[in-house]
Amino acid sequence: MQRDAIRPLVFDADGALRHPRLWEQYNYRAQITERFKDSVIPDEERSAHYGVVLAGLAAARSELIRMHRAGQLHDELLRHIERDLDLQEVAAQHGMGGVSAE
């Protein structure tokens, strides 16, 4: 399991948590996986969930472009954030059951 693999990396030698947000995310994933391991999520519920995710990503992309055009965001940072949004968008489209050609 991923959480077990990262455990030695998120805690230091004294046992202090070095990466709390990352640890929280992996714990959440493990809990959700365990909770729903025998469940089938209806297509319409899954589609609605990822539809919200895609709407949020579209809004983030629009704001990112607005900030860049207003001179508030450097080209390099724009490309970095766009790449992250692209990856999130592909994952959401995959979660919906397909990838659009947009």
pLDDT for 43-63, tens place per residue?
888 899 999 999 999 999 999
Identify whether residues 47 and 29 lie together within a single domain: no
* Residue 99 pLDDT: 54
Range of the domain at 62: 43-96
Identify whether 102 is part of a domain.
no
Q: Which residues of the chain have pLDDT under 70?
A: 98-102
What's phi and psi for 13, nearest 5 deg? -60, -25
Are 48 and 15 within one domain?
no
What does the pLDDT read at residue 98?
62
Q: What CA–CA distances, in Å, run from 31 to 7, 27, 34, 70?
A: 15, 6, 5, 42
